[in-house]
A and B are shown apart, each in its own frame.
Chain A
Amino acid sequence: MTVATATRQAKAVASHISKWYGDLEVLHDINLEIYQHEFLCLLGPSGCGKTTLLRILDGLIQPDEGTVSLDGEVIQGPPRQAAMVFQQFGLFPWKTVSQNVAFPMVLARVPQASIAEKVRWAVELVGLKGFEDAFPDNLSGGMRQRVGIARALAVGPEMLLMDEPFASVDAYTRELLQGELLSIWERFRQTVVFVTHSIDEAITLADRIVVLKAKPGEIYHVFDVPIERPRTVESVRKHPAYEPLRQTIWDDMLAGSGRAV
C-alpha cells in the first residue's frame, strides 16, 4: 500500500463517556482514540451499548458525562466530517435510489451538477448501476444496504460510522458485501468505526478490534489485527493469524460476559 503506515494521529477521541437510560447505566467511562485512516471494529454482545456509543460519536445523542472530539474540537451535534450507515438501512421509501444517495448533498447545498456526478460515481461504486430510479421497497436487503453505503460515501466523509450494516442480510450476501467494503476502503482509507457482534466480521475488516462488555457497557480489551492488506474474505480466513486471534477474542468475550454460555 502507498498510504503511510498509520501515523497514529487521533481523528476522534471519546473521553470519559457515560450514558444512563433511567436506572440503567448503558455506557460506563468509555475512553477511546480512533486513529486517522484506521478501520476500527466495536465488537460486543447484543445490548452492550454499541449503537448508543455510535450515536454519541455521531452527535445524535449527548452523553451524560464526557465528550467526543473530532479533529480536536468537541462535537455538539452531527459533525459534517462523519457519515453514518444504519443497521436498518434508513432509506426514504419516497425517494429513488438516486434521490436517497443525493439526500446528504442536497442538505449540504452541493451544486446540482456536482450532485449528479457524485451520485453516478457512488451508485456505480456499489454496483447499483441500472437501479438509479428504483424505489427501496423494490430492492433486496443487500441492495438496500448498498444504497445506504453509497449515500454515506457520496458526500466524501472523512469518517464512516457503520452500525451492523450487514446484520440483516443473508450469510452469502454478507460475505460479498464485506469483500466489496474491503476493496472500497483499501482505495479510500476513510476513518471507519464499524459496529458488529460477529468476531469473524471484525477480524476480516478491522485494523483494531475493541471488545466491549455489557452491563454496564465498558471497553474490555483492544486487539490489533496483524493481517496485511490488501485483504479478501478468503485471504483472511486462510491467514495463519486468523484462527488464534479468533480463539483469543472468543475467550476474551466469554470472560467479559462473566459466565459460560
Chain B
Amino acid sequence: MDVGNRLPDARNALRERVKARRRQNERRKRNRYLLIRAISFVVVLGAWQIYGASTLEIIFTPFTTVIAHLFELLVNGPLGGAILYSLSMFLGGLVIGSIVGIILGVAMGRFAVFEAALGMYVYAIYSTPLVALIPLISLWFGFGVEAQLIIISMFVLFPITIAVYNGVRSVDAALVEVARSFRANEMAMWRHVIIPSVVPYIVTGLSQGVAMGLVGMFISEIYTALSGMGQILAFSANAYKTADMLAVLLTVMILGVTFRTVIEELRKRLAPWFNKESGR
C-alpha cells in the first residue's frame, strides 16, 4: 500500500519547479490585486478631494479637511472620550447579546422543549423592527447606560441566536451516527461533533451581530440620552459641521472594518477546515 512517496529525483525537481511557478503566479496575482486597489483608492480620494473643494462646505468637504477635523476632534475635542464610551457600550452589549444568543440558540436547536416554549417569541421579536421597541425600553429602563446596553444587546442577540440555532439543527446526522458507532457518550458527542459543527455558524452570527450591534450603538446614543459618538454626530449635523460629521463616520467605518477583520481572523483560527479555495 504505497502511493509513491519515494519519487525519483527527476520527479522531485519537477515538483519543486511546479511549486515555484505556482508561488510566482500567486505573487503576480496578488501584486496586480494590490495595484488595482491602490489605483482605485487614489481615484476615489482624488474625486472626493476635488468635489469637496468645489462645492459648499456644508454639503461636502475635501478629504484633507476631514482628516484635519478628525485629528482636531481627537486631540482637542471630545472624540477620544466618545470613542471610548461608545466602544465600551458596544462591547458590553456584544458580550451580553452573544452569550444569551449562543445559549438560546443551542438550547432551542438541541432540545425540542425550548424550541416549543421560546421559538415563537424569538421569531416574533426578530420580525419586529427593533427601533420600534426603543420607546418601550426607555419607559422601563430610562435613558442611561442600562437602557443603552439593553438596546445594543438586543440588536446583537437575534442574528446570533438564529445562526447558532441553524448551526445546531444542521449537525450532520451521519456524523452523529459515526460517533455513536464508536461509542461516544453525550459529552464526547458535544466535544467532537456538535460544537465543531456549530463554530462556523457562531462566527457568522458574531459577524452579523457586530454589524447589528454598531447600528444599535448609534441608535441607542441618539434615541436615549445623547452620548458617545452618536452625540457628536447629532450635534455636528445640527450645526451643519459637515466635516465633523464625516470625521465621525470615517471613525465608525474604520472601527467596523477592524471588527470584521478580527472576526475573519477568528474564523480562520477556530475553523481552519472551513477555508475553501474560491472558484476564481
Chain A residues proximal to chain B, CB less than 8 Å: 58, 60, 77-78, 80, 83-84, 86, 88, 90, 92-95, 103-104, 106-108, 124-130, 135, 137, 155, 180, 183-184
Please determine whether A127 and B2 come into contact, CB atoms closer than 8 angstroms.
Answer: yes
Contacts A60-B177, A128-B3, A130-B5 given; indicate if A78 touches B182 (C-beta within 8 A): yes
Interface size class of B (residues with CB under 8 A): 20 to 34
Pick the most buried of A60, A88, A94, A129: most chain B CB atoms within 10 A of its CB: A94
Q: Would A125 and B1 be within 8 Å (CB), given that A58-B181, A84-B181, A137-B273 are in contact?
A: yes
Q: Name the contact of B192 in the complex, choosing from A84, A103, A129 (C-beta under 8 A).
A: A103
Asked if A90 and B174 sit within 8 Å, CB to CB, the answer is: yes
- Is residue B96 contacting chain A, with contact meaning CB distance below 8 A? no
Kindly identify which residue among A60, A90, A107, A129 contacts B5, using a CB–CB cutoff of 8 Å. Answer: A129
- Chain A residues within 8 Å of B46, by CB: none
A90 touches B175 (CB 8 A): yes
| Chain A residue, CB-CB nearest to B178 | A90
Question: Quick one: which of A92, A129, A137 has the most chain B CB within 10 A?
Answer: A92
Shortest C-beta distance, B27 to chain A (Å), equals 22
Give B229 Cβ to nearest chain A Cβ, in Å: 39
Residues in A whose Cβ lies below 8 Å from that of B180 = 60, 77-78
How close is B100's CB to chain A, nearest CB, in angstroms? 26
Do B183 and A92 touch across chains, with their CB atoms under 8 A apart? no
Check B193 for interface membership: any CB of A closer than 8 A: yes
Residues of chain A with a CB closer than 8 A to B1's CB: 124-127, 180, 183-184
CA distance A124 to B188 in the complex (A): 27
Min CB gap B117→A, angstroms: 30
- Residue B83 is within 8 A (CB to CB) of chain A in the complex: no
22 pairs across A/B with beta carbons < 8 Å? A60-B177, A60-B181, A77-B183, A78-B180, A78-B182, A78-B183, A80-B183, A83-B181, A84-B181, A86-B174, A90-B177, A92-B178, A94-B271, A94-B273, A103-B182, A104-B183, A107-B192, A127-B1, A127-B3, A130-B5, A137-B273, A155-B182
Per the bound structure, the CA–CA distance linking A88 and B174 in Å amounts to: 9
What residues of chain A lie closer than 8 Å to B178, measured between beta carbons? Answer: 84, 86, 90, 92
| B5 / chain A contacts, CB cutoff of 8 Å | 129-130
- Report the minimum CB–CB distance from A150 to chain B (whole Å): 10
Chain B residues with Cβ below 8 Å from A155 are 182
**A130-B2 Cα distance, complex, nearest whole Å:** 11
**B contact residues vs A (CB 8 Å cutoff):** 1-3, 5, 174-175, 177-184, 188, 192-193, 196-197, 199, 271-273, 276
Residue in chain B with minimal CB distance to A79: B183
Chain B, residue nearest A93 (CB)? B273
Q: Tally of A-B residue pairs with Cβ under 8 A?
A: 64
A104 and B182 contact, CB distance less than 8 A:
yes
Give A103 to B183 CA distance when docked, in angstroms.
Answer: 11
- Residues of B near A128 (CB, < 8 A) are 3
The complex places the Cα of A127 from the Cα of B271 at a distance, in Å, of: 27
Residues on A with C-beta less than 8 A from B193 are 92
Task: List the B side residues contacting A83 at CB < 8 Å.
Answer: 181-182
Other A-B contacts than A107-B184, A180-B1, 19 sampled, CB-CB below 8 A, are A58-B181, A60-B181, A77-B180, A78-B181, A83-B182, A84-B178, A90-B174, A90-B175, A90-B177, A92-B175, A93-B273, A94-B196, A103-B182, A125-B1, A126-B1, A127-B2, A130-B5, A135-B272, A137-B273
Which residues of the partner chain B approach A137 to less than 8 Å between Cβ atoms? 273, 276
Report chain B residues within 8 Å CB of A104: 182-183
* Contacting residues, chain B, for A135 (C-beta < 8 A): 272-273
Contact partners of A106 in chain B: CB under 8 A = 192
Interface pairs A-B: 5 shortest CB-CB: A127-B1, A90-B178, A104-B182, A94-B196, A127-B3
Residues of B close to A126: CB separation below 8 A:
1
Are the C-beta atoms of A108 and B175 separated by less than 8 Å?
no
A108 engages B273 (CB within 8 Å): no
- For residue A92, which residues in chain B have a CB less than 8 angstroms away from its CB? 175, 178, 192-193, 196
Q: How far is the CA of A118 from the CA of B183 in the complex (A)?
A: 19
Q: How far is the CA of A77 from the CA of B179 in the complex (A)?
A: 12
Closest residue of chain A to B4 (Cβ to Cβ) is A127
> Complex Cα distance A187/B200, Å?
42
Complex Cα distance, B179 from A78, in Å, reads 10
Q: Which residues of B contact A60 (CB under 8 A)?
A: 177, 180-181
A120 vs B28: C-alpha distance when bound (angstroms)? 39
CB distance from B193 to the nearest CB of A (A): 7
Distance (whole angstroms) from the CB of A167 to the closest CB of chain B? 15
Chain B residues with Cβ below 8 Å from A127 are: 1-3
Asked if B183 and A107 sit within 8 Å, CB to CB, the answer is yes
Contacts of B271 in A (CB 8 A): 94
Task: Tell me which residues across on chain A come within 8 A of B272, comparing CB atoms.
Answer: 135
A86–chain B nearest beta-carbon distance, Å? 6
A135 to B274, CA, bound (A): 10
